[in-house]
């Protein structure tokens, strides 16, 4: 699937309020990654469920200075901002979770991500799978099963296995593959 398809699919589902948040984060020199269920939809996988929120990650850890700048700028734009241990909960007419940089966000993660807008990316499906596996919440495991079932044939399995191994989740991943009849 080409870059244009990803961009068009993302534009079809991106809420207009997100662009205001993206602009704030980009103005601070941050790259933004759409993660979570919405990123899976951008990849064309049918999750069979609706999701009310948006999950995004930035490419830098929150320092007190960065946290305060983001909070001030978003609140000045009328957003409600709550600090959480994992990042921010931002709300207005949509609910957006802004997470710390994912544990696997490295140069390879960035290089394999697709550009949606300037400094806005969607990670490759293999990295999204690893993020879902790391979460281990019931809804994330259900999403993971659907992703693997629908996309197994198009995944870069060498890269996926390498990333799973880096996270130390090989046993969990192999158990899931066995349950799904994949290998």
- List the one residue out of 146, 135, 160, 138 whose CA is nearest residue 41: 146
Please compute the mean of the pLDDT values over residues 11-21 and round it to a whole number: 85
CB 71 within 8 A of CB 51: no
- Across the range 70-99, mean pLDDT stands at 93
Residue 1 has pLDDT above 60, yes or no: no
Confidence of residue 49 (pLDDT cuts 50, 70, 90): confident
pTM (two decimals): 0.91
Tokens for 23?
A: 């602009």
Per-residue confidence (pLDDT) for residue 101, from 0 to 100: 73
The rounded percent of the chain whose pLDDT value lies above 70 is 98
Q: What angle do CA 80, 86, 88 make, to 5 degrees?
A: 15
Nearest to 77 by CA among 104, 96, 61: 96
Q: What is the pLDDT of residue 2?
A: 63
The residue whose two tokens read 């978003």 is 74
136 CB-near residues (< 8 Å, 6+ apart): 172
pLDDT of residue 62: 87
50, pLDDT greater than 80: no
Residue 91 dihedral angles phi and psi, to the nearest 5° = -140, 155
Check whether 74 has a pLDDT greater than 60: yes
Neighbours of 18 (CB within 10 A): 20
Please report the pLDDT score of residue 165 as a whole number. Answer: 96
Report all structural domains of the chain as residue ranges with CATH numbers, in order of start: 3-180 (3.30.460)
């Amino acid at each position: 699937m080409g870059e244009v398809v990803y961009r068009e699919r993302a534009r079809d589902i991106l809420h207009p309020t997100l662009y205001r948040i993206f602009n704030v984060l980009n103005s601070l020199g941050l790259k933004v990654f759409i993660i979570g269920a919405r990123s899976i939809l951008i990849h064309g996988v049918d999750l069979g469920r609706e999701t009310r929120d948006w999950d995004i990650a930035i490419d830098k850890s929150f320092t007190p200075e960065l946290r305060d700048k983001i909070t001030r700028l978003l609140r000045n734009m009328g957003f409600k901002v709550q600090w959480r241990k994992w990042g921010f909960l931002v709300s207005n007419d949509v609910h957006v979770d802004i997470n710390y940089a994912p544990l696997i966000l490295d140069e390879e993660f960035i290089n394999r991500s697709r550009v949606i807008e300037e400094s806005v990316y969607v990670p490759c499906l293999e990295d999204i799978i690893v993020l879902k596996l790391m979460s281990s919440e019931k809804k994330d495991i259900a999403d993971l099963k659907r992703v693997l079932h629908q996309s197994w044939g198009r995944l870069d399995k060498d890269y996926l296995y390498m990333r799973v191994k880096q996270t130390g989740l090989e046993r969990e991943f192999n158990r899931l593959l066995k349950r799904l009849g994949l290998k």
